[in-house]
Amino acid sequence: MSKAKIYYFTLQDEQTKEEKLEWFEQTRLEQVNFEHVAPDKKHNWVNLTDNDFDDFLPLIDKQGKAGKSQEAVFRLFSSGVKTQRDEWVYDFSKDALIERMKYFVEIYSIS
């Protein structure tokens, strides 16, 4: 399988909607000066910038968590406590939520 080639073109951000639509009406595809872009190592190709962000020491790294790399400040991390009970603890009605919480506490107190 061959790799796809990515060609990119953008109009100026400062242009109004009307100006951009007018440009589209008046410009043929053959007239567009597309730029060939290559994705970075994380497969990003929109808003490519020349920066050294990837050269910095990361705070966390999945490879470090797995013990395969020492290249991160923290080796242990998680997304925190997850109850997977959003439908139990959120409601548009305060009264319904209070009743649900009372029931929830009662059920878990029995366990």
Distance CA 92, CA 104 (A): 17
Residue type, 66: A
pLDDT in tens, 10-61: 899 899 999 999 999 999 999 999 999 888 777 887 766 666 777 888 888 8
Pick the closest to residue 100 from 82, 85, 81, 110 (CA basis).
Answer: 85
Q: Residue 4 above 70 pLDDT?
A: yes
Domain boundaries, the chain: 1-49
CB atoms within 10 A of CB 99: 12
Distance CA 47, CA 25 (A): 25
pLDDT in tens, 72-84: 888 778 888 777 8
